[in-house]
Amino acid sequence: MRSSILISGANGFIAQHIIKLLLDKGYSVIGTVRSEAKGEQVKEVIHSDNFSYEVVPHIGAEGALDEVLKRHPEVTVFLHTKSSASVPTDDVENNLLLPAVNGTKNVLQSVLTHGPQIKRMVLTSSVVAVFNWFKKFDPNKTYTEDDWSPITWEESLKDSEAGYFGSKKFSEIAAWDFVKEKNPSFKLSTVNPAFVLGPQAFEVTKKSQLNYSAELINQVIKLGSSDKIPEFTGLFVDVRDVAKAHIAAFEKEEAANKRLLLVSDRFTNEGLVLIINKNFPESTVPNGSYEKDQEQLSRALKYDNSKTKKLLGFEFISLEKSVFDTIQQIYSAK
């Protein structure tokens, strides 16, 4: 039997892919969820004796993880995928920023006190902790793993979106500071994904089971042939690569103390429409223009994640495959 892995937010989009891959690789997995009903839902789709769940209603509360850690001395790796949440709120500081930062510190403190055998910890951060997403990015700059979003605490208070950006940055900083100050027995790595596209890990029978990323593509598929294509440029990575990266982050010695910048490519809505027309001729989307796609991409943010790619050692899934697989799943759901 290989090591046991603890993963928070086990019913999440990314977490389910990680769990699937971990089980395929022979690991035992314990997932935290907020309710028994959610734990049972995960168990139902996963069907494995090597998966179990623990109900932790408020994982960020002080000591919330203590009992789980005491019950599972076999855990040697902790994947904290639920480091902050994106929720619409009028009180960004109390509902987004402080819970994210204090929650991260509390979770790390529990591991420090009750998980001395835990050797690796992976925190799911985001590109919004790396890139200058809040203000206009510098068109002459190429962003890398070494960059930090300059968003301030005060700027994060502006609205829920800014609050999410700030919550990812400040909770990641809290984790790195914790490790520097307390010198725990575990080594930290962070995974900083771009917009995560790709199918759900398990078969989807209802459209309500699709997540926000699929929703972005779903909005484009719904366009009629004479509709205007809303201009949108973003960076993406496929969820299956995000799952692989979480595992490499603790399996590879050289990933310790690193931030892994997960970007496969840039994309535009115009480009999504071109892919949909090519692969799904029955769709109603407008024609799309290759020239507009290229022009919009030429103004998109520049990044260089070659250090991450070299460390991971695998090719990221292309936009076309990611979009194709996502749409196939959307079409098959009712």
Rounded-to-integer distance, Cα 206 and Cα 149, Å: 37
**Beta carbon of residue 221, minimum distance to ligand NDP (angstroms, whole number):** 18
Residue type, 130: V
Cβ-based nearer residue to ligand NDP, 27 or 53: 53
Q: Tokens 């609050």 — which residue?
A: 163
235: Cα within 13 Å, side-chain hemisphere? 22
Backbone dihedral region for residue 120 (phi beyond 0: left; psi -120 to 50: alpha; all else: beta): beta
Q: Does 105 bind ligand NDP (CB under 6 A)?
A: no
**Beta carbon of residue 281, minimum distance to ligand NDP (angstroms, whole number):** 28
Applying CB under 6 A, among 5, 75, 111, 196 the residue interacting with ligand NDP is 196
Rounded-to-integer distance, Cα 236 and Cα 297, Å: 13
Give residues with Cβ within 8 angstroms of 24, minimum separation 6: none
Q: Does 235 bind ligand NDP (CB under 6 A)?
A: no
156, two tokens: 């994060």
Q: What is the dihedral of CA 14, 298, 219, 227, to 10 degrees?
A: -170
Count of positions on this chain that bind ligand NDP (CB under 6 A): 22
Q: Does 11 bind ligand NDP (CB under 6 A)?
A: yes
Q: Does 211 bind ligand NDP (CB under 6 A)?
A: yes
Is residue 15 within 8 A of residue 1, CB to CB? The reply is no
Q: Does 9 bind ligand NDP (CB under 6 A)?
A: yes
179: Cα within 13 Å, side-chain hemisphere? 20
From 8-16, 70-78, 178-186, 291-299, span contacting ligand NDP (CB under 6 A): 8-16
Applying CB under 6 A, among 34, 43, 252, 309 the residue interacting with ligand NDP is 34
Rounded-to-integer distance, Cα 204 and Cα 200, Å: 7
Instruction: List the interface residues with ligand NDP, window 66-95 (CB under 6 A).
Output: 81-85
The CB-nearest residue to ligand NDP is 12
Cβ-based nearer residue to ligand NDP, 242 or 285: 242
Give residues with Cβ within 8 angstroms of 267, minimum separation 6: 233, 234, 235, 236, 319
Binding mask 122-161 for ligand NDP (x = CB under 6 A): --x-x-----------------------------------
**Beta carbon of residue 168, minimum distance to ligand NDP (angstroms, whole number):** 6
Q: Does 307 bind ligand NDP (CB under 6 A)?
A: no
Give residues with Cβ within 8 angstroms of 154, minimum separation 6: none
Instruction: List the interface residues with ligand NDP, window 245-284 (CB under 6 A).
Output: none
CA distances from 57 to 39, 69, 114 (A): 11, 15, 19
Query: What is the Rg, in whole angstroms, of the alpha carbon atoms belonging to the chain?
Result: 20
Q: Does 309 bind ligand NDP (CB under 6 A)?
A: no
Q: Does 305 bind ligand NDP (CB under 6 A)?
A: no
Interface contacts to ligand NDP, rule CB under 6 A:
9, 11-15, 34, 38, 59, 81-85, 124, 126, 168, 193, 195-196, 211, 213
